[in-house]
Structure 1
Amino acid sequence: MRFVSTRGNAPAATLSDAINAGLAPDGGLYVPENMPHLSPDDFPQGLSLAQTAAYLLAPFFAGDALAPELKAICAEAFAFDAPHRALAMPGAHVLELFHGPTAAFKDFGARFLAACMRRLRADATRPLTILVATSGDTGAAVGAAFHRVPGMRVAILYPDHRVSPRQAHQLGSFGDNVDALRVAGSFDDCQRMVKAALGDRQLQADVPMSSANSISLGRLLPQMAYYAHAALNHWRRTHDALNVMVPTGNLGNAVACLWVRAMGLPVGEVMFACNANDTLPQFYAGAPYRGRDAIATIANAMDVGAPSNFERLAHLFGGEDAARANGHAQSVDDAEIRDVVRRHALSDGEIYCPHTATAIRVLERQRLAGDHRAWTVVATAHPAKFDTIVEPLVGRPIRVPDALGAMLDRPAYAAPMAADHGVFHHWLRHGRAA
């Protein structure tokens, strides 16, 4: 299979070339030239998550140098489960994606990308710098996946004072080949700095780089697997498509779900749950798409005002108007998020992270509007990552997963960085700010 740019001004690329590059030469995002089609009958029953991933992704890897390694890559990336369980709310389920080493859904994609890059770079003579802008969870997942991988250097950019204390500690806890940079700005500033660096041909010649954000095809493709796995199992139990509530900021996880549906697998309606950054809700309400500056919320991993993957969303449907007609998004403010966390801890014992709580609130609105269909809420992070927000609301400490606890026990350091392309480019060349 070949992959093309969402902007249509770059040559088609192989999967390996697209993963290596991160961003297409014209600044666009790589998408499949033609979306493959599969049916539930193409998947044997009783598959593990890793096995489902290998079946699902085989068409995307067809003809590529990585194809013989796909099963091994999936086994490395999907070494932990994504439980899909019922909630107390009738007809509601939760898909838990936070059982990896950094307690967030980003672990699946980051580990998959790292497994691919290790194989693609096995004979490389120059180190590759992996750039990642993070609003909280992506950076830690990438840092963990690439930590001490030979021939790889990682630069994590995050907005200073706009991630939770435990997220910040995770980001700076790696050392060795992983550098954390706390940027005096927003996530969108971090994202612009990464894109500008990747798009600078002279800088690329001096410092070979790739991306580990969801702009990277190697991050987005594996995120399809847990949706396919849950949808197939749900279909076999109920003969119904899986309706999904996805908390989203940069749209990568949401687009992955839509790609599964586009392949022909039994995913039904997909609704986006956003925080007070309402770029997508405004778009779906009829306004022209307009990226804007992000505002800080307690669901900080979704503090994105200009989601990169909007290009993939529009490309999937053939334009903005068609995308608007085929989706829904709702915004949830901080007061509502706090209410959901507090109320459910008391009523049914469920403790949600602020991001998952946005999707729970959207589901509650649907129920009040008379929607009694079955829905699955995507739980994107463990609530222990947001202890300063969640624990005062639930009135008790939250048990910290062992892997997260190990990171929090390590010392952490992040270097200050101005939200300036030139300063960042100097750092990439010289390892220090200008």
Structure 2
Amino acid sequence: MSFVSTRGQAPAVPLSAAMAVGLAPDGGLYVPAVLPASRSWQPQQDLAATAADLLAPFFAGDRLAGALPGICRQAFDFPVPLRRLATPGDHVLELFHGPTAAFKDIGARFLAGALSQLQAGQGRDLTIVVATSGDTGAAVAAAFHRQPGVRVVVLYPDGRVSPRQAHQLGCFGDNIQALRVAGSFDDCQAMAKQALGDGALQASVPLSSANSISLGRLLPQMSYYAHAALQHHATCGQHLNLVVPTGNLGNAMAAVLARALGVPIGQIVLATNANAVLPRYFQGQDYQPQPSVATVANAMDVGAPSNFERLRWLYRHDDAELRAAFRAYAVDDVTIRATIASLFASQGEVVCPHTATAVKVLQDLRAGGAKGDWAVVATAHPAKFESVVEPLIGRPVPVPPALHALLQRPAQAAPVPARYAALREVLLR
């Protein structure tokens, strides 16, 4: 299978090449030249087997095709349970049981395994440049930590991630370098994209991306949706509807692709924080990126979601058709806090601020008469946001062992201005 740019001005490449560079030469995002045909999928015994089955058509003819099952087994060695909630028909898909307690572990570990295979025998190190609004950077750092032939440079907005997120980002050392940028996530993302498009820099320092602009991150994220939906359908014969917390749109885009392949997923509803670019678009306004604003659900503080370009490609740039296919709702900080508190008081459930946006949207959908089986997507463990969650529920949130171990390590991050020249200087060192 070959892959092309959403902007149509770059040559088609195999999947390995698309993953190695991250961003297409014309600045677009790589997508399949033709989507695999929709078909009926069978439930598999575990997430690794589901991933290998689902991803096989994308890797057909690629140099990594033979290694795909092994990459999946190594990457997907923790559970992603679909758990029932108290309200009949409501579920939570828990994606935070990986080493950094966030769903980003799943795509990052797969990408690390794939690039490790591609880097074997190469004479030059590869530098991964990743912009993060909170969770991506730690997941990528953990996945690539001490991997030979790879250096990782993480950019995050100083003061706009939780204290525990910031500690995770700076605690690895070795081949991982954290930069705290005096700006927003959008500034970090723009700097990373400029580096990836800098041909002169690439000639000296081979670069790739580990944001959700990378197919190596995006495609494996389809797997947990497929695994949950197939198991659910086999058990009760119902399609699983989803409410997905959404920032850069990669997580939701993975669900959209899985559904397009024939996975029994029903509606996909997007939940954002106060950064409401997507809700405004789906309510009929022009798509207009905005400067991001800081919220308590900081990993979703995105004013220019990169994967919207892929979503438009999938719907042939037909805005009317795209708007008819989705709904998106914004949840402000006051409501996020109230949802965390009320969910704990009524059901004993503890959720992170991002998951709370999806919970609130599902509550509103049910109040409006929504039927069927639904899952809110839990993207991060609430212990990563203890300063927000604990005062609302009145008790400490137990810290998962893997996260506890990272918090015991010393951490440091270098301050940089929100200017590309500063990043370029770091990358050239």
The TM-score, its normalising length taken from structure 1, stands at: 0.98
Change (3 A) 1:220 1:418: same
Q: Map 1:345-356 to 2 at 5 A.
A: 345-356=344-355
1:340 maps to 339
- 1:100 is aligned to 2:98: yes
Question: Would the aligned equivalents of 2:44 and 2:50 in 1 still touch at CA under 8 Å?
Answer: no
2:383 maps to 384
What CA distance in whole angstroms lies between the structure 1 residues aligned with 2:228 and 2:33? Answer: 26
2:270 maps to 272
2:227 maps to 229
Question: Would the aligned equivalents of 2:238 and 2:373 in 1 still touch at CA under 8 Å?
Answer: no
Change (3 A) 1:427 1:320: farther
Deviation at 1:37, TM superposition (A): 2.5
Change (3 A) 1:320 1:162: farther
Q: Map 1:250-261 to 2 at 5 A.
A: 250-261=248-259
1:305-360 deviation line (CA, Å, top 9, x unaligned): 00000000000111151222211100000011001111111111100000000000
2:3 maps to 3
Instruction: Report the secondary structure of 1:183's partner residue.
Output: strand
- Matching residue's letter, 2:31: V
2:410 maps to 411
1:329 maps to 328
- 1:428 is aligned to 2:427: yes
- 1:196 is aligned to 2:194: yes
What CA distance in whole angstroms lies between the structure 2 residues aligned with 1:253 and 1:293? Answer: 21
- 1:25 is aligned to 2:37: no
1:353-381 deviation line (CA, Å, top 9, x unaligned): 00000000000111111113221110000
Moved over 4 A (4+): none
Deviation at 1:47, TM superposition (A): 1.8
Of the structure 1 ranges 404-413 and 82-91, higher mean CA displacement relative to structure 2 is found in 82-91
Deviation at 1:242, TM superposition (A): 1.2
Instruction: Report the secondary structure of 1:240's partner residue.
Output: coil
- 1:248 is aligned to 2:249: no
RMSD: 0.8
Question: Would the aligned equivalents of 2:44 and 2:227 in 1 still touch at CA under 8 Å?
Answer: no
Deviation at 1:238, TM superposition (A): 2.1
2:306 maps to 308
- Matching residue's letter, 2:374: W
Q: Map 1:22-421 to 2 at 5 A.
A: 22-40=22-40, 42-43=41-42, 45-321=43-319, 322-421=321-420
Change (3 A) 1:3 1:328: same
What CA distance in whole angstroms lies between the structure 1 residues aligned with 2:324 and 2:66? Answer: 39
Question: Would the aligned equivalents of 2:38 and 2:260 in 1 still touch at CA under 8 Å?
Answer: no
- Matching residue's letter, 2:347: D
The TM-score, its normalising length taken from structure 2, stands at: 0.99
Q: Which ranges in structure 1 are unaligned for 5 or more consecutive residues?
A: none
1:70-91 deviation line (CA, Å, top 9, x unaligned): 0000001110010001001221
1:170-228 deviation line (CA, Å, top 9, x unaligned): 00000000000000000000000000000010011011100000000000010000000
Q: Which ranges in structure 2 are unaligned for 5 or more consecutive residues?
A: none
